[in-house]
Amino acid sequence: MSAAYLILLLLSLLGVALLDRRWRLFVWRAPVTAVMVLVSGVAFFVLWDLFGIANGHFRQADGPWQLGVLLAPELPIEEPVFLLLLCWSAMLLWCAAVRLLERRQR
């Protein structure tokens, strides 16, 4: 077991945060609203995962790159970090698209 996957996810989050800070797209534009959106998005997807696990649809795949720490049965510690990266990246893409469309219309 190693922490490679978790470290790469954290480095990716750092990259997303730096992009967000540079262009002030989401968190650096409206921090309170952004944190509420990110927390609710991650919570939704964690609940989705837990529902899928409870119904036997999702299983944890043991891999040499994972830390091996579980938050719940079949829910690795990397999952919420990945979901945060997913939600934040999606919101950055959305905010960037809106900004580009608004700039285009002017």
pTM of full prediction above 0.85: yes
pLDDT score of 60 = 86
Average pLDDT, integer, range 63-75: 92
Distance of alpha carbon 87 from alpha carbon 102, whole angstroms: 22
Distance of alpha carbon 58 from alpha carbon 37, whole angstroms: 25
**What is the DSSP-derived secondary structure letter of residue 2?**
-
pLDDT tens by residue, 42-65: 999 999 999 999 999 999 887 889
Q: Give how far Cα 68 sits from Cα of 33, 41, 51, 57, 72, Å.
A: 33, 24, 21, 20, 12
Average pLDDT, integer, range 65-90: 96
Least confident of 10-14, 58-62, 85-89: 58-62
Does the structure show a pLDDT above 80 at 19?
yes
pLDDT tens by residue, 23-35: 999 999 999 999 9
Residue count (the chain): 106
